Amino acid sequence: MHNHTGLTQGLLALVPADGSSIGNQTLFERLRSQFPELTNELYWEVRDALVEQGVLKLGKGRGGSVQLAGVEVPPASAWVHFLRSYGPSSANLAMFDEHISRALDQAGVQPINLSAPLLEGMVSHVESNAPGAMLIAGTAGDGKTYHCRALWARIGGDPLHWAAKGNVKELCLADGRTAVFIKDLSELNGKESDLPLQRLESVVLGGDNSEIIILAANHGQILDRLRDLGRRQGRDHPLRKPLQERFLQAGPAPERLAVFDLSRSTSRQTLAEVAEAVAGHPEWENCQRCSLRSDGKICPIDENRRRLLGEADQGQLAHRLGDLVEIARHNGLHLPIRDLLALCSNMILGCSNKQYAKDNLLTCADVAKIQQGGDIGKASIYANAFGSNLPKRRASGRPVFKAMSSFGVGQESSNAVDGLLVYGKDDARLKSDFDCFVACDRIYGGTAAFYSAQDAYLEGYEGARLEGGASEFLAMLEDQRRRLFFTLPKGELGYPHWSMTVFCFAGDYLEIIEALKQQKPVSDTVRGRLVRGLNRVLTGLLLENEDRIFIASSGGFTQSRVSVLCDFETASRRQGGIGMAIKLDEETGQPRLDVSLAVGSGNSVIYDLTPIRHEFLSRVAGGAMPASFSNECLQDLLAFKAKLLRQTEIIKSACAVADDDEVGVESSGLSLNFIDVEPGGHGFSRPMTVRITE
């Protein structure tokens, strides 16, 4: 009996005091680490006794969990707990779907519903009686399984059958065919995938019309599996090359294989949808009757959710967040839905102080603590958006936070913004701006904690002089900058928000895309800046020309520092088929520079303008060169230059053949075009002839 008392107390100590639930398995294992002799039977005996006494009650769902009875639980806590399971904790890195369904079971709340953007296309593909197979490709977290399941349900499959064990599901269709679903290739080990792949091949290439195969897989996975299978069979697998080309958008998919690529579908809209689904979820209604936000108390969870919804700022926060996602996407980063969910979850629940919140994600039970501590600023949605509440290691494990932190918001700043934040409160000239941009937000802007740290910093108390003495204030300053990035009004000339990021010119970049989409001309300033940057890179001279592009060489390496020989000169604006045009790539939605050296297709060289390349050119045009990304982009541009030179070579040799007369002149003289620079920086090419006397 004595033993039981100890066990009972130990068990009770492990059940969360805030009334949230804990799973039996977890509880059992934790308890056993304290009581090694604990058996399963004993555990259940003790647990059931406690339930009978009314000390514990069973959690919602299938009874797999327990929670303390009689604790007054904030009304939305089950939901918040569930939302937390989407967040960037280490628990949900693998087997995400299972993790979420378990959490859903426990919480007993409505799930987060997201649309399946490609579902309609899939359904109509099945209904169209098109023979062959369907491949649902995408990154982990893109929602491949989600789509599969939705399709299964739409064409009449039984959800229970789906949830049962087994990776391959079959369903008889009305037209007599069998639909074969292969849920996830990654769950099949090694040779287990041979059979499904052989089935795929026979359906796609063998002309078997009795089945339609629906296969979900990662890009890399299916290519690898096909390669391995091909190797073992001593051949190049016939599906591999065409699929690879299709993935890279370099060629069509095989005729009888429809590819649905989910990794191409996330964008600003997806984020907006996810944010709406999370922040606008009906479960939040429960917060209305929560004591944590009564009597003028501020609940950071509730506050963050409202800000994400955009109730007060007309959606500016969500819009800027969308901008960031767009820029990241154009820089080649793919952010799967799962990551966007993690981002939204973290924005609402994140908290930089680990003492308040385990895993840096708040639960309702933590809110009271943070309120008592007067530290609501630690849960600022603006800092959470960049993952700065998370420890570095955990943030860098998630593509989305890696992407967000790569903008450098918080570290980057402008003099105007820093001046405002440091002196604004006391400086008469800045006061009105300060009140308008900082002080107006009493929760995350002008907080008491910020004012006192600011005073301490400005007054220069003893601590401020010491090394690292101002670190507290500086950390706050970073969070304030993050806040300003999201809250500065659009078009506020004194404080442009993009200059607080690494991508100072990202705003212009997005405008280029917008203009091209609406088939309007790109603004002259932006185009001029790009051309100036391009000329400076191509020649290595400080040129100011914006009307033409010099394709220059040094005679030797393209790499050489300065290139003073003008091989070719073309207009910076496409006219009559010659010159530079800025176009939109339909497939990627990205702008590209298209420099055409002669009339006719095949005479132009294309340079995809990613945000980072745009930034590089724009900064070169301004004369400043940040060391951080100079070399990378330079190599990239030099490759472009080499291609331009090669194209020039081709066009010139074509001209020489066409113009036979010139050859005679050529042999007695040699003409070189030097680029001369006027004092104002305007460059022009000056021909020089060398006579050959032999």
Partner 1 sequence: MIATIQRPEIRSVDFCVDENIWGHRLYDEQLPHLAVLEFLGILGSNVDRPLRPQPEHGGAVTFKPQRQIRLRGLLFNNPYVESIAESAVSDDEKWKRWFECFRQGATGNGDEDMGYLRRSFSSFDDFAKTIELLRSSAFESRSNKRWSSKFVFPFGPDALYEDLAINAKGSMSNDRRFFARTGELLYLMLTRAQSGAELGDSLVERLFDSNAPMNRLVRVLQGAPQRVEEPKLTGYLPEARNSRFDRICDDWLSILNRDMPIYDALEHLIAITGLNMLLYFLERAKLVAGDDDPVEIVCEIVSKERTKIRALSGDSYQVNQGLPAKAVRVHVESVRLDARWSTNSQSCELQDVERLKLMRERFQWPPVDGVDEEDFTNKKPEELVDELVVNALARHAQHVGKIHASWSRAIGLSSRRLSRRTRYAPNDKLLKSIVVSIVKDRMQFDEFLAEVKSRYGLIIGDAEGTRLVSDKLVDQEELSENRNNLETRLVSLGLVRRLSDSCSFVENPFALQGDIEC
Cβ 144 to partner 1 shortest distance, Å: 10
Closest CA to 68 of 58, 56, 80, 86: 56
Q: Does 248 bind partner 1 (CB under 8 A)?
A: yes
Cβ 243 to partner 1 shortest distance, Å: 11
The whole-angstrom separation of Cα 208 and Cα 435 is 72
Cβ 522 to partner 1 shortest distance, Å: 22
Amino acid sitting at position 138: G
Instruction: Tell me whether residue 153 or residue 670 sits nearer to partner 1 (CB atom).
Output: 670
Torsion of CA 134, 135, 138, 141, to 10 degrees: 70
Q: Does 657 bind partner 1 (CB under 8 A)?
A: no
Q: Which stretch binds partner 1 (CB under 8 A): 71-79, 155-163, 177-185, 244-252?
A: 244-252
Let me know how long the chain is: 694
Q: Which stretch binds partner 1 (CB under 8 A): 16-24, 191-199, 217-225, 431-439?
A: 217-225
* Given 13, 93, 655, 688, the residue binding partner 1 (CB under 8 A): 688
Instruction: Tell me whether residue 461 or residue 557 sits nearer to partner 1 (CB atom).
Output: 557
Cβ 352 to partner 1 shortest distance, Å: 21
CB 52 within 8 A of CB 71: no
* Given 337, 390, 564, 620, the residue binding partner 1 (CB under 8 A): 564
CB 132 within 8 A of CB 142: no
Cβ 474 to partner 1 shortest distance, Å: 20
Classify strands 590-596 and 56-58 as parallel, antiparallel or unpaired.
Answer: unpaired
Instruction: Tell me whether residue 58 or residue 259 sits nearer to partner 1 (CB atom).
Output: 259
Q: Does 250 bind partner 1 (CB under 8 A)?
A: yes
Tell me the angle at which helices 96-107 and 77-84 cross, rounded to the nearest 10 degrees. Answer: 170
The whole-angstrom separation of Cα 574 and Cα 597 is 10
Q: Does 218 bind partner 1 (CB under 8 A)?
A: yes
Q: Does 636 bind partner 1 (CB under 8 A)?
A: yes
- According to DSSP, the residues that pair with 257 across neighbouring strands are 133
Torsion of CA 554, 556, 562, 568, to 10 degrees: 30
Cβ 248 to partner 1 shortest distance, Å: 6
* Given 236, 427, 514, 649, the residue binding partner 1 (CB under 8 A): 649
Cβ contacts of 613 within 8 Å, gap of 6 or more: 607, 633, 636, 637
Cα distances (angstroms) measured from residue 623 to each of 414, 546, 620: 18, 15, 5
Classify strands 178-182 and 56-58 as parallel, antiparallel or unpaired.
Answer: unpaired
Cβ neighbours, 10 Å, residue 297: 14
Q: Does 223 bind partner 1 (CB under 8 A)?
A: yes
* Given 81, 219, 237, 307, the residue binding partner 1 (CB under 8 A): 219
Q: Does 263 bind partner 1 (CB under 8 A)?
A: yes
CB 287 within 8 A of CB 118: no
The whole-angstrom separation of Cα 412 and Cα 564 is 36
For the window 306-345, what string marks contact with partner 1 as x by the rule CB under 8 A?
--------------------------x-x-----------
Instruction: Tell me whether residue 160 or residue 248 sits nearer to partner 1 (CB atom).
Output: 248
* Torsion 362-364-366-367 (CA) sign: positive
* Given 342, 565, 597, 620, the residue binding partner 1 (CB under 8 A): 565
The whole-angstrom separation of Cα 694 and Cα 669 is 11
* Given 51, 259, 449, 672, the residue binding partner 1 (CB under 8 A): 672
Instruction: Tell me whether residue 382 or residue 607 sits nearer to partner 1 (CB atom).
Output: 607
Q: Does 596 bind partner 1 (CB under 8 A)?
A: no
* Given 137, 151, 335, 512, the residue binding partner 1 (CB under 8 A): 137
Instruction: Tell me whether residue 289 or residue 646 sits nearer to partner 1 (CB atom).
Output: 646
Q: Does 90 bind partner 1 (CB under 8 A)?
A: no
Cβ neighbours, 10 Å, residue 624: 9
Cβ 567 to partner 1 shortest distance, Å: 10
Closest CA to 443 of 519, 347, 371: 371
Cβ 555 to partner 1 shortest distance, Å: 5
DSSP 14-44: HS-TTS--EEHHHHHHHHHHH-TT--HHHHH
Instruction: Tell me whether residue 119 or residue 140 sits nearer to partner 1 (CB atom).
Output: 140
> At which residue do the structure tokens 């959606």 appear?
315
Q: Which stretch binds partner 1 (CB under 8 A): 11-19, 100-108, 194-202, 215-223?
A: 215-223
Instruction: Tell me whether residue 465 or residue 561 sits nearer to partner 1 (CB atom).
Output: 561
> At which residue do the structure tokens 């399941």 appear?
149
Q: Does 236 bind partner 1 (CB under 8 A)?
A: no
Cβ 75 to partner 1 shortest distance, Å: 39
Size of the residue set binding partner 1 (CB under 8 A): 52
Cβ 642 to partner 1 shortest distance, Å: 5
Task: Convert 531-564 to b/e letters by CB count within 10 Å (16 or more is b).
Answer: bbbbbbbbbbbebbbbebbbbbbeeeebeeeebb
Q: Does 639 bind partner 1 (CB under 8 A)?
A: yes
Cβ neighbours, 10 Å, residue 305: 25
Return the structure tokens found at 530. Answer: 């790009």
Q: Does 693 bind partner 1 (CB under 8 A)?
A: yes
Instruction: Tell me whether residue 212 or residue 390 sits nearer to partner 1 (CB atom).
Output: 390
Q: Which stretch binds partner 1 (CB under 8 A): 113-121, 135-143, 312-320, 425-433?
A: 135-143
Instruction: Tell me whether residue 117 or residue 496 sits nearer to partner 1 (CB atom).
Output: 117
Q: Does 113 bind partner 1 (CB under 8 A)?
A: no
Cβ 412 to partner 1 shortest distance, Å: 15
> At which residue do the structure tokens 């003289």 appear?
669
Site for partner 1 in 388-407 (CB under 8 A): 396
Cβ 637 to partner 1 shortest distance, Å: 9
Cβ 338 to partner 1 shortest distance, Å: 11
DSSP 186-248: GGS-GGGGHHHHHHHHHHHTS---SEEEEEEE-HHHHHHHHHHHHHHTTS--TTHHHHHHHHT
Cβ contacts of 354 within 8 Å, gap of 6 or more: 360
Q: Does 612 bind partner 1 (CB under 8 A)?
A: yes
Q: Does 554 bind partner 1 (CB under 8 A)?
A: yes
Return the structure tokens found at 334. Answer: 């793919």
The whole-angstrom separation of Cα 648 and Cα 578 is 13
Torsion of CA 678, 679, 682, 683, to 10 degrees: 40
Closest CA to 11 of 51, 57, 63, 46: 46
Output DSSP code: residue 398.
S
Q: Does 220 bind partner 1 (CB under 8 A)?
A: yes
Instruction: Tell me whether residue 461 or residue 674 sits nearer to partner 1 (CB atom).
Output: 674
Q: Does 9 bind partner 1 (CB under 8 A)?
A: no
Q: Does 561 bind partner 1 (CB under 8 A)?
A: yes
Q: Which stretch binds partner 1 (CB under 8 A): 315-323, 370-378, 415-423, 643-651?
A: 643-651
Cβ 661 to partner 1 shortest distance, Å: 17
List interacting residues with partner 1 (CB under 8 A): 137-140, 142, 218-221, 223-224, 244, 247-248, 250, 263, 332, 334, 396, 554-562, 564-565, 612, 629, 631-633, 635-636, 639, 642-643, 645-646, 649, 670, 672, 674, 688-693
